[in-house]
Chains A and B, each alone.
Chain A
Amino acid sequence: MKRTLRRVWNRLLGSVRRPNADSDLAEELESHVQLLADESIRRGVPPEEAYRRARLRFGSIEATKESYREQRGLPALDHIAQDLRYSFRAMRKNRGFAAVAILSLAIGIGSNAAIFSVVNSVLLRPLPFEEPDRIFAVRELVPQINPRESIPVNPLHAQEWAKQCPSLEQVALMAGARAQITAGGEPASILSARIPHNLLGLFGVAPVLGRTFLREEEQEGKNRVVMISEPLWRSRFNADPSLIGKTIVLNDQNFQVVGIIPEWFRLPFGGGMEATAPNVPFEILFPLVIGKDQLRPMGNFNYGAVAKLRRGATVEQALAEINVVQARFPAQAGSKMDLKATMIPVQELVTGRARLGLWMLAGSVGAVLLIVCINLANLFLSRIASRKREAAIRTALGASRGRQFRLVLTESLLLALTGGALGVLLASWLLPLLLTATTMDIPRLHEVKLDSTVLGFSFGLTVLTGLLFGTLPAWRLTRNDPQEALRAGSHTVTEGRGGLRLRQGLISMEVGLSAVLLILAGLFAGSLTRLLEVDKGFDVQHILTTDIRLSGSRYSNAGDREKLFERVLAKVRAIPGVQTAGLVTALPSKGETWVDPIYLEGDTRPGLERPLVNNRFASTGYFQTMNIALRHGRGFEESDRGRSVGILSEKAAKLLWPGESNPVGRSFIGGDDKHKVLVGITADVRASLQNEAPPTVYYPYWQSVPSGVYLVARTSANAGGAESALRAALREGDPQLPIRPIHTMEEVVDQSVAQRRFQLTLVTVFAASALLVASLGIYGVVAYSVARRRNEIGIRMALGAQRSQLLGLVIRQGMIPVVIGLGSGVVVTFLLGRVIRGLLFGVQPGDPLTIAVVAGVLLTVGVLACLIPAGRAARTDAIAALRFE
């Protein structure tokens, strides 16, 4: 065994260390023959005869050398080396082809590697938690309200699940919060969460320093403890380890720091209205205290919840158990509704929103690479065709078909590997660019990197690519009959109709894939345009906005908050150039929030069965500033102070008074169970661009002064310094107030479509490159076929064919595969329709306009690509063409 290994090793060396070996052997054999001859000469044989005998005795020197060589190295390895040398020579000889191939492969593989590293980190790599597949987000579901959209969790319900469901190991709630911090820097308002003692343990996350919360810290009075994130600890407290146990001031109150959370920790926060949640890097964690008043069945639903399954339990079991518990709550609350729950794998919760979009991008970029592959196969086929004679000679000289096959594959793999290496370099440069440019709402983006998995993927992809575009030409080359190829003269050794048809098939595939990408890009473009043109119900021009967040004991009093808001409003309204200004609790286009019921006197249905509407608290001047139309009545006025009033959107008014056209003056009951006099009805306003406007109720903000509002100010067309004036006004209102970024309303709306815009940009780039590659492919095939048919064209001309006829002939033939490809591309898009519908807005996957435009573009490009070679054919000089043979 050892001997065999040693031999293999030495043969391996023999394959590598070559230079003197041959001359060495020659010398050795020569000396052997010499010695043999010497012997004969000594015996008196004449030298000439002695050498003859010696050679006879020795046997064939060449055969010896041959079998010696066979054994010296590893023949397979030697062949590869030979093939490689041959391929390098071929590449050098045909630099143009090599450059095109390597570059297009580099771009194809590079962009695939870049997109894959995003897909891998975001969708494929498990979250960095302990046993993430046992962790699920739980949300509640009231089928009568909306059978598809789940809502956040009621704390009492969650407590009961933990007690009664044997499949659940633990359940933890969480809620968002804001904390104002002043220590160690500018006052800032920081994203924070309230969590129970078991949440970090559930995720298997340990603090970097200190401890996590204790169970008793979930009680009011014992809850003045806090955990802060590593970055915050570093930036504001110089990473001082003695901070643990010390007291810091948050929201003007003292908290004892008990632990530091690791920097990478993100909380998959599921407490929002949507069933997906970004992985939030909360910087401050407070203990979650749940008051007795919140523990009512069917009461408030406003917590995120995660549950960890017991080992061995299945989700189905757990969900069934939860639903049994759920079924009891409505009856306890006197409601006739059903109550269910859904469980979402935590990974999906985090990536849900980005999933479809990312897969779509991955698919598109994969299609681009496929097109590149097909195109190279095509180019390679033409090159191979000119090598047929050479291949035939090789075969005739005894090269096996397998060997010839390998030779072609070696060349394609060599090209692919060079392209792939370049591609990975490209990706390493492209990826940071992509990550900074992206406006896609992609969670876990900070985790994205070019790691070994990506390198492995790229390598695999490279080899696959090389095989893909090498196999077909290799097969074509080795299939032919050497006799036939040799018998024919060198000029006429061209492929027959089969070869042309093969290439036309490839062109159809290229065009088909390009068509799919183009249609996709067209649909996205259409979606975006339509989204921006949608009747939003408000204006976006000349409006500046910022948000004001008040926290801490200085503003614990509603009166103090109101005074500050009024002070700021007065200062802002006094800015020259500001026409009107107002406050509101949630800006349009920022999504639906604060959903509460409204009802009429005498409605005995339980809360959730009453009309649910978005609640907004606004100041005077808000509707005017946003240019939200008043259908009836008026907006809020100073004289409404002390009165209980409300304004409804048209849809909300229809919910209460379906039959009445102008119910202004009547009264309804709001979320606080108090009577409100309806003073106005406004136009419907979209809460997010892609969704229909939700029914909305507006109350004057002073009825329940919020701690956070958005300030909006309408400026005159060219109010240049308005932004800094706005900042100054806020500063004057309260110098300690953290000032948040100021945006134009256009930016806010744009932000809400940024994801679509980014997707559109990428898909457009992919589609454009696909189109370019495909048009090169069309050109190549048509040019080749024209060159091949030069003779025939000459004859046609000699027989009197008009130039225009020839032009038509070439274009017609060139366009056949284009038309076939276009047709199949359209069919594929129809089939894809169901999948991509979720990414579209206001456009159907089979949108005839988009398809017509794409067809027009593709056909035009196709004709242009045919035109150059067709023109060449038409200019053919009949005599020259006939003499060409």
Chain B
Amino acid sequence: MSNKTEVWQGTLALMVLKTLNAMGPQHGYGIARRIEQTSENLLSINHGTLYPVLLKLEQEGSIASEWGMSENNRRAKFYRITKTGQKQLAAEVKQWEQATEIVARFVTMKGIKA
């Protein structure tokens, strides 16, 4: 494999929510591209893996979907974040920050090397 990083289970949902929150309604392709772009192509995802995540978020009521037309006139399903989704996003961002902070402390900790 290249130096691209695999996406961790669970973080994809956060990225999807964040993307939708920032960009407004998007279709699956748009979301996938945006994630790749944001990560400056460091992150590689199989676009297919996005769909189960979208389904889960929709079932939870965090996002809603609707058929529409893409910018180049293709029929596509558009997803948008809901009120519940925004709340969830806020909570998860907070959680994520906490987690990374904790992990960061361990990583930067100076100790006796074995």
A664 within 8 A of partner (CB): no
**Which of B55, B60, B76, B77 contacts A6 (CB under 8 A)?**
B60
Q: Which of B36-68 contact A (CB under 8 A)?
A: 46-49, 51-52, 55-56, 58-62
Can you show 12 pairs from A to B with CB atoms below 8 A apart? A14-B59, A27-B75, A28-B51, A31-B27, A32-B27, A32-B47, A35-B29, A57-B46, A59-B46, A59-B47, A64-B48, A64-B52
B110 within 8 A of partner (CB): no
Interchain CA distance A28-B74 in the complex, whole Å: 11
Which A residues are CB-close (under 8 A) to B29? 31-32, 35-36
- On whether the beta carbons of A71 and B74 are closer than 8 Å, the reply is no
Residue on B nearest A27 in the bound complex, by CB: B75
CB distance from A282 to the nearest CB of B (A): 66
Which residues in B have some Cβ–Cβ distance to A below 8 Å? 27-29, 32, 46-49, 51-52, 55-56, 58-62, 70, 72, 74-77, 84, 88
- On whether the beta carbons of B55 and A3 are closer than 8 Å, the reply is no
Given the contacts A3-B61, A28-B28, A36 and B52 also touching, CB distance less than 8 Å: no
A492 within 8 A of partner (CB): no
- On whether the beta carbons of B28 and A10 are closer than 8 Å, the reply is no
A429 within 8 A of partner (CB): no
Interchain CA distance A72-B52 in the complex, whole Å: 8
- On whether the beta carbons of A32 and B49 are closer than 8 Å, the reply is no
- On whether the beta carbons of A58 and B52 are closer than 8 Å, the reply is no
A67 within 8 A of partner (CB): yes
Produce 1/0 per residue, A542-566, CB < 8 A to B.
0000000000000000000000000
Interchain CA distance A10-B29 in the complex, whole Å: 24
- On whether the beta carbons of A59 and B27 are closer than 8 Å, the reply is no
A68 within 8 A of partner (CB): yes
**Which of B58, B61, B70 contacts A35 (CB under 8 A)?**
B70
- On whether the beta carbons of A36 and B47 are closer than 8 Å, the reply is yes
Which B residues are CB-close (under 8 A) to A60? 48
Which A residues are CB-close (under 8 A) to B51? 25, 28-29, 64, 68
- On whether the beta carbons of A3 and B48 are closer than 8 Å, the reply is no
- On whether the beta carbons of A3 and B60 are closer than 8 Å, the reply is yes
Interchain CA distance A31-B28 in the complex, whole Å: 9
**Which of A7, A61, A64 contacts B56 (CB under 8 A)?**
A7
Which A residues are CB-close (under 8 A) to B59? 6-7, 10-11, 14, 71
A38 within 8 A of partner (CB): yes
Known: A6-B60, A57-B46, A59-B46. 6 other contacts (CB 8 A): A10-B58, A31-B70, A31-B75, A36-B29, A58-B46, A60-B48
Which A residues are CB-close (under 8 A) to B47? 32, 36, 57-59
Produce 1/0 per residue, A40-66, CB < 8 A to B.
000000000000000001111101100
Given the contacts A3-B88, A28-B28, A35 and B76 also touching, CB distance less than 8 Å: yes
- On whether the beta carbons of A38 and B48 are closer than 8 Å, the reply is no
**Which of B48, B62, B72, B88 contacts A59 (CB under 8 A)?**
B48
Q: Which of A7-35 contact B (CB under 8 A)?
A: 7, 10-11, 14, 25, 27-29, 31-32, 34-35
Count of chain A to chain B residue pairs whose CB atoms are closer than 8 Å in the complex: 75
Interchain CA distance A3-B92 in the complex, whole Å: 13
Which B residues are CB-close (under 8 A) to A72? 55
Which A residues are CB-close (under 8 A) to B27? 31-32, 35
Interchain CA distance A63-B51 in the complex, whole Å: 11
Interchain CA distance A6-B62 in the complex, whole Å: 10
Which residues in A have some Cβ–Cβ distance to B below 8 Å? 3-4, 6-7, 10-11, 14, 25, 27-29, 31-32, 34-36, 38, 57-61, 63-64, 67-68, 71-72
Interchain CA distance A11-B52 in the complex, whole Å: 13
Which A residues are CB-close (under 8 A) to B56? 7, 71
- On whether the beta carbons of B48 and A6 are closer than 8 Å, the reply is no
Interchain CA distance A357-B112 in the complex, whole Å: 87
Interchain CA distance A354-B76 in the complex, whole Å: 75
Which B residues are CB-close (under 8 A) to A36? 29, 47
Interchain CA distance A11-B27 in the complex, whole Å: 22
**Which of A4, A27, A34, A71 contacts B55 (CB under 8 A)?**
A71
Interchain CA distance A34-B74 in the complex, whole Å: 8
Which A residues are CB-close (under 8 A) to B46? 57-59
Interchain CA distance A320-B29 in the complex, whole Å: 89
Which A residues are CB-close (under 8 A) to B55? 68, 71-72
Which A residues are CB-close (under 8 A) to B32? 32
Which B residues are CB-close (under 8 A) to A7? 56, 59-60
Which B residues are CB-close (under 8 A) to A27? 75
Which B residues are CB-close (under 8 A) to A6? 59-61
Interchain CA distance A59-B47 in the complex, whole Å: 7
CB distance from A334 to the nearest CB of B (A): 92
Which A residues are CB-close (under 8 A) to B58? 10
Central interface residue in B28, B55, B88, by most chain A CB within 10 Å = B55
- On whether the beta carbons of A38 and B77 are closer than 8 Å, the reply is no
Given the contacts A27-B75, A35-B70, A67 and B52 also touching, CB distance less than 8 Å: yes
CB distance from A32 to the nearest CB of B (A): 5
Interchain CA distance A10-B55 in the complex, whole Å: 10
- On whether the beta carbons of A58 and B88 are closer than 8 Å, the reply is no
**Which of B49, B62, B72, B77 contacts A28 (CB under 8 A)?**
B77
CB distance from B48 to the nearest CB of A (A): 4
Which B residues are CB-close (under 8 A) to A58? 46-48
- On whether the beta carbons of A63 and B74 are closer than 8 Å, the reply is no
Interchain CA distance A25-B51 in the complex, whole Å: 9
Which A residues are CB-close (under 8 A) to B75? 27, 31
Interchain CA distance A14-B74 in the complex, whole Å: 27
CB distance from A16 to the nearest CB of B (A): 14
Which B residues are CB-close (under 8 A) to A4? 60
**Which of A14, A29, A59 contacts B49 (CB under 8 A)?**
A59
Residue on A nearest B87 in the bound complex, by CB: A3
List the 3 closest pairs (A to B, CB-CB), nearest first.
A59-B46, A64-B48, A59-B48
Interchain CA distance A31-B76 in the complex, whole Å: 6
- On whether the beta carbons of B76 and A68 are closer than 8 Å, the reply is no
Interchain CA distance A67-B62 in the complex, whole Å: 20
- On whether the beta carbons of A32 and B28 are closer than 8 Å, the reply is yes
Which A residues are CB-close (under 8 A) to B76? 28, 31-32, 35
